[in-house]
Amino acid sequence: MPLGEIFVTHHSNNQPLASALAHLFSPQADNLFLMRWPMLLLGMLVLPFTYNLGRRIYNQTVGILAVFLLAIIPVHLAYSVVVRGYSGLILLVTVSVYFGVKAMQQNRWPHWVLFLVVNLLVVYFHMFGAFAAGVQLGLVGLWLLWRLSISWRQNSLPDFFTQNKLLLFRLGLVTIILLTAYPLLIYHNTQAILSEGGHPAEFEAWRDGLSWQP
């Protein structure tokens, strides 16, 4: 499939970012070994983010234990050599959680931007990323509302808006993404399911015992 058609072709087995990476490594789609490489690299890249996420939320011991378990778990190893978007899905969900935690802890613009961008990209790796992104954006929205409610109780109305302009802007940005951009991103995957009568090809492959085939 030409690179230009990847992002406009509605098929459940066409997970756009994964297909694009496989195309870049093997443009003619004739070398399965090369097509697996980007997925393997994504599966390896998730390890340092897992360690840093565990260390940031708990401590260094938890980070080491988390990355050790992920490195040896058979499911992760298997999905990291499949020409699908699974390893990219795991990576981007982990990265988005990491930057989401940093954004809430440090309240810096770069972390907020990275958190939102990664949550938009995750849907293009696999349709299940829509659930993870939706949950994360919803939780961050609730956290922002909680922060605003505390500030509301502590300040008068003029002071409230003066001191929380940036917080209100971030809450509005998250809301806009949830209500507009987010549905547009999952449109591709919805069309893929509908075009196949509600039976995505990977489900058929799983049923037939071919789930590890590229």
- Average pLDDT per run of 10 along the chain, which is 214 residues long? 56 68 72 81 92 93 93 86 84 93 87 87 80 84 81 69 70 70 60 53 44 41
The crossing angle, in degrees rounded to 10, of helices 129-154 and 86-106 is 10
Q: Residue 68's pLDDT is what?
A: 93
Q: Residue 48's pLDDT is what?
A: 94
Does this model's pTM top 0.75? My answer is: no
Q: Residue 66's pLDDT is what?
A: 93
Q: At which residue do the structure tokens 């994504």 appear?
A: 42
At a CB cut-off of 8 Å and minimum separation 6, what does 15 contact?
84, 85, 88, 124, 125, 126, 127
> Terminus-to-terminus CA distance in the chain, angstroms?
15
Q: Which two tokens stand for residue 145?
A: 């509302």
CA dihedral 127, 71, 73, 80 (to 10 degrees): 40
